[in-house]
Structure 1
């Protein structure tokens, strides 16, 4: 999931402080990470290394693109193989399976065979739709109940052909992991971004919150409402949409968001959905849930769960925006 059109203002350090606002950057998970933080200049090298190390750990555990990751080893294991799970893998799988149960499979971490079949995984892109037989074959391997998850032993048993894909949740977990480590280092003001997923904590040197201005599509039917300006002190935001990864075939766009229940990319009017949540891992996964469910069912689910979510729908040649009451409340609080 990616986030576009965010912005924030830098500010100068106060005269009484030797700390300043700095920006650290790097690459991980096939994208760029950025951390704005208030710290002493002498600490920056160690902080940059620590941030990269935490993200590298997430990749080593959960990447489907790395053949030696813990996730890849699980995916290719023989039926009946029991694999001990490192802490991060365990936490993400536990959250993913709980969300799968809560959404009746609209979210499913075993969707990997379908993601790969439609050209959005490590098997490579495609420019034509797969056959019905191929879809049925891939979908037969999908089902979150297939994962032999043992929370007491912190292990997972491979049922045979089960293929986990954490691309809709691991990036958010990475943001949370970095944020937790920065707090451990007593960094009390920072804004973490990994590939568009963001989490803000504390205040900038001028006392202001980490504010982002969400750039929505033009011709928005509600564009006169002032936009969605948000403060991220203790909150994360993640988005899922059809405008970043897709392919066109015979005049139709196929989104990278695959519905595990149908075995096909979603085909509703939702262009993007963004979720605010105290945990970026949850915001990341919930944005995917709402993108799969679509405008009506997604809004109903978000309201039942009191989620702060913003939906942007295709509306002719323009876009239409709808927000949940929880999102509007957070926007007003900013």
Structure 2
């Protein structure tokens, strides 16, 4: 019988505004769950007696509904759907829309466009958007046409005034779930349930501690032959990007993460990237960007920008960035 390898334990540094004391006496444990944004969500929390389960669920679903109304391309009257269909070059966007687009534009600049929120035309063309899946890759001419209306450098955002070329389609699938996680955490904290773990489709944010003073532990999914990776979260977001969502044609896999520099699905030596950041939206976008870069570029970028990431190569080799290495321990 093979010995079980020791766990890899990740201990992010303390966050100044995260609670370091346990929930108040009388707080009760609650587990809430549901479906939204094409996936599942779950929240584990310790709630004060005056907060009902119905009130907590209402706060959660209100934030989910808000994100869908802003950023879902599958909803015809969402803000992103209306913007993508608008013929005007210059438009006014809502403050909520700007709250996601502005930081994503900063991440696009930081990553040299490896993360780019303007790739909706390419996402749809490759069968990963509302038009539905496809059985074969698109023609080169189709890819060229989609690339011609894509690219973060073609966007100007000043306040809530947005300028972009007609035909450009925004796609927030790589970050909207992360933002939803963050907004749910803030909403729960705002109504007095500040000790919680929020998860949507594998993206997580935790705040506070359990009554026994233990942190919220989250496992990063890994192949069974590798040691488990356990992360203690309190005031941090965790997101993972991988190549499991794909279609096959002619014996080749086409993953859903698009490389903006080619217009084709990213194809390199990485199969999965997990990032820990100050918020889940940022972790989500950075994980996708590092997946596009490939191991060598991603490690160099993470080193220069202090990104805490765990990268998995095809074949199982694991890479920890320096910022992630500084967080590691071993429970074995």
TM-score for the superposition, normalised by structure 1: 0.88
Name the SS for the 1:311 alignment partner.
Answer: strand
Whole-angstrom distance in 2 between the partners of 1:255 and 1:158: 27
Structure 2 partner of 1:229: 230
Whole-angstrom distance in 2 between the partners of 1:333 and 1:67: 49
Q: Deviations over 1:164-194 (max 9, x none)?
A: 0011111111111011111111212100001
Higher relative contact order (Cα pairs below 8 Å, separated by 6+ residues) = 2
Runs of 4+ aligned residues of structure 1 deviating over 4 Å after TM superposition are none
Is residue 175 from structure 1 mapped to residue 181 from structure 2 by the alignment? yes
Structure 2 partner of 1:166: 172
Structure 1 partner of 2:329: 332
Is residue 117 from structure 1 mapped to residue 125 from structure 2 by the alignment? yes
Q: Deviations over 1:277-316 (max 9, x none)?
A: 111110000001101111110111111111110001112x
Out of 194, 202, 207, which is 1:196 matched to?
202
Is residue 322 from structure 1 mapped to residue 289 from structure 2 by the alignment? no
Structure 2 partner of 1:241: 242
Structure 1 partner of 2:77: 68
Out of 194, 211, 216, which is 2:217 matched to?
211
Q: Deviations over 1:204-240 (max 9, x none)?
A: 12221001232411344xx4xxx32210011110010
Q: Where do 5+ consecutive residues of structure 1 fail to align?
A: 1-13
Whole-angstrom distance in 2 between the partners of 1:72 and 1:195: 22
Q: Where do 5+ consecutive residues of structure 2 fail to align?
A: 1-21
Superposition map of 1:53-92 within 5 A: 53-83=62-92, 85-92=93-100
Name the SS for the 2:98 alignment partner.
Answer: helix
Structure 1 residue 128 displacement after superposition? 0.7
Whole-angstrom distance in 1 between the partners of 2:25 and 2:56: 19
Structure 1 partner of 2:286: 286
Kept in 1, the 8 Å contact 2:149–2:165? The answer is: no
Structure 1 residue 328 displacement after superposition? 2.4
Name the SS for the 1:133 alignment partner.
Answer: helix
Whole-angstrom distance in 2 between the partners of 1:162 and 1:295: 30
Is residue 135 from structure 1 mapped to residue 143 from structure 2 by the alignment? yes
Structure 1 residue 17 displacement after superposition? 3.3
Q: How many residues align?
A: 308
Whole-angstrom distance in 2 between the partners of 1:139 and 1:290: 21
Pick which of 263-272 and 137-146 moved more: 137-146
Name the SS for the 1:89 alignment partner.
Answer: helix
